Chains A and B, each alone.
Chain A
């Protein structure tokens, strides 16, 4: 019973944050002259394919497909942020690691474009995974050896990756021949298969089959969550990661090689992010385009990891929520005329209320009787406090 209570209590904070965000968002819409119910109907319809208005003609299947396409990379980048959280590391570099994976996938997919899928597809996915691992491994090594703060180094490597993308596709070696800022497409063998056949003329759920872009990368993403959960709770490495996150001194006293654990954690995190990047190229875009320069998946992943409290199930739900918000924003704007910027407001409010953790106030004894001992720190806040700890070099 106590365990159930604890789990329920754990979910109350993120759930409460989401409800809080939606209430404040609704107030903002109402105050600015919009209809919050129409707005949220559009969001629900666009995001989850439910409660669609009969007059606007949204296709629920199409919307669900779009949401899945949007949340697939968040599963893996969410893990890439959550795993280092557990080790007390704040990986802000999921975006850069994702881009490194995208670049590697594109380069391999173009260079070996004539290879058949059974060879090329694993090559591009593994290539992307390795590139992401390297991109995160560098900050990991720097943190473990000379104590360079991973927040700073991963952020800087984000810039390096972003501008590397620009360099490669704007006047660089990957640019397609016609002067636009995009690479040539990867070979057919490097593309992830779609769930639904993309046969011209085939109609599914009343629309041409090609509009459903759900790809098999979803399965890889779900598998990544399982790997994450097993790694964290069922392996000795996972134990070491959690031990380092709890207290580096205690971990070291217990015989754990802290530096090694930090490096391995970052390598694995980067691998997940790099895989996400490779999957975006192999499953959705098929070429490196300028949109990757402005991509924010790796930053949304931070919110996803926090909202999901760093657990696999939490990341799954948080990813679905963010994917649905992304897909729903457009429908909300098209149907209800509410700017899709509301979605960004909602996301920020969710993150804000989790970070501030002020919902905890409701549970404070002061609300019932009088102030006493400080309330226990909520998981998300605890994760961030851990992440803000000094690097190992200074804690000896």
Chain B
């Protein structure tokens, strides 16, 4: 009995393999189509943030240009090098890495494939010490997060000053993921603008040391809420969803980050936007137009690569005017939000 069953399993297995081998393989492109490979970081496509936005940028490019866009989600840090290498070895026209976590992998792979173009969100191709290798085939897509942080910081400051927040104790806060430059840029702009609008304001800053687990950010947020914070700015990716939830449960306001997080929780009054979709689209557009260049491209309010969205809150006309005024000043360069968190 065992033998016949085994034989059946063997036959089934071989049949499955043969079927798989003969399976569909006819997706040959007709004309010159630009092949774009997108590698997400461990957040995955459903992060409602960076990776999602990068994918949106790719999708838009697919409708506008002759582009074949393929996406691979990295399940762990072990996947970065193989995933980038996979696209590069297949001679893709542009390989995009999402996120600074991929910097070292990007440095390694871009060095091995000098004839393939790479772009990386929020980082560069670096060696193991995180020194930019400045490979001419790598384009860094950076953001002035402080621009976006300043807009939501200004909103928070104005609400506190006009006593339109929930507790009006003059305390707001930010929850960072890990204390790294992109996170601190956001918080720097936030604190700077809030203080500018309401000089007496107190801005609490905490870190969860995590970008994925909402529970950890919820803890940090709960502490801040018990310290009378009533507007909480999350700068912690997927972990930060816990901040939005904590704010919702405590009946205070929260501010989303990177993407428009209006739907993540009713407590979200605004979101600081890092337009990764614009950056991704621009990088692809450059390749299609033959204008790819190594080095850094910075996206900010002036080139519509950073900004903010008002979410589940209707602001008064004077607040809107103040925000528009600040945005115009940053755009014109008369005001420059700081990159480092002010004391």
**A-side interface residues toward B, CB under 8 Å?**
5, 8-9, 11-12, 15-16, 19, 22, 35, 37-38, 40-41, 44, 46, 50-51, 53-59, 62, 66, 69-70, 166, 170-171, 176-182, 184-185, 207-208, 210-211, 213, 284, 286-287, 289-292, 294-296, 326-327, 329-331, 333-335, 337, 339-341, 343-344, 362-363
Top 5 closest A-B pairs, CB basis? A291-B77, A37-B23, A51-B21, A185-B128, A53-B25
Q: Please measure, in the bound complex, the distance between the C-alpha atom of A70 and the C-alpha atom of B85, giving whole angstroms.
A: 15
Looking at the assembled complex, report how far the CB atom of B337 sits from the nearest CB atom of chain A, in whole angstroms: 19
Q: Please measure, in the bound complex, the distance between the C-alpha atom of A5 and the C-alpha atom of B9, giving whole angstroms.
A: 16
Chain B, range 272-299, C-beta contacts under 8 Å to A? none
Find chain A residues with CB under 8 A from B37 CB. 334
Are B78 and A208 in contact, with the CB atoms below 8 A?
no
Do A166 and B209 contact each other (CB < 8 Å), given the known contacts A37-B19, A55-B26?
yes
Residue B197 is within 8 A (CB to CB) of chain A in the complex: no
Residue B162 is within 8 A (CB to CB) of chain A in the complex: no
Q: Please measure, in the bound complex, the distance between the C-alpha atom of A98 and the C-alpha atom of B9, giving whole angstroms.
A: 36
Interface of A is mostly: helix
Looking at the assembled complex, report how far the CB atom of B178 sits from the nearest CB atom of chain A, in whole angstroms: 5
Do A213 and B81 contact each other (CB < 8 Å), given the known contacts A12-B9, A341-B73?
yes
Find chain B residues with CB under 8 A from A62 CB. 85-86, 89
Are A180 and B100 in contact, with the CB atoms below 8 A?
yes
- Most chain A CB within a 10 A radius of its CB, from B42, B45, B85, B108: B85
Find chain A residues with CB under 8 A from B78 CB. 69-70, 284, 291, 295, 326
Find chain B residues with CB under 8 A from A326 CB. 75, 78-79
Q: Select one of A54, A58, A59, A334 contacting B70, CB under 8 A.
A: A334
Q: Please measure, in the bound complex, the distance between the C-alpha atom of A62 and the C-alpha atom of B236, giving whole angstroms.
A: 35
Q: Please measure, in the bound complex, the distance between the C-alpha atom of A345 and the C-alpha atom of B37, giving whole angstroms.
A: 24
Closest to B1 in A: A363
Find chain A residues with CB under 8 A from B103 CB. 180
Can you report 10 A-B residue pairs in the complex whose CB atoms are below 8 A from each other? Answer: A40-B23, A58-B86, A170-B178, A178-B131, A180-B180, A184-B128, A291-B76, A291-B78, A295-B77, A340-B73
Are A179 and B181 in contact, with the CB atoms below 8 A?
yes
Do A19 and B180 contact each other (CB < 8 Å), given the known contacts A41-B20, A294-B76?
no
Are A57 and B85 in contact, with the CB atoms below 8 A?
no
Residue B82 is within 8 A (CB to CB) of chain A in the complex: yes
Do A290 and B70 contact each other (CB < 8 Å), given the known contacts A178-B129, A179-B180, A185-B129?
no
For B35-48 the 0/1 string (1 means CB < 8 A from A) is: 00100001011000
Looking at the assembled complex, report how far the CB atom of B220 sits from the nearest CB atom of chain A, in whole angstroms: 14
Looking at the assembled complex, report how far the CB atom of B179 sits from the nearest CB atom of chain A, in whole angstroms: 7
Do A35 and B23 contact each other (CB < 8 Å), given the known contacts A9-B2, A170-B209, A181-B180?
yes
Residue B314 is within 8 A (CB to CB) of chain A in the complex: no
Residue B118 is within 8 A (CB to CB) of chain A in the complex: no
Find chain A residues with CB under 8 A from B180 CB. 179-181
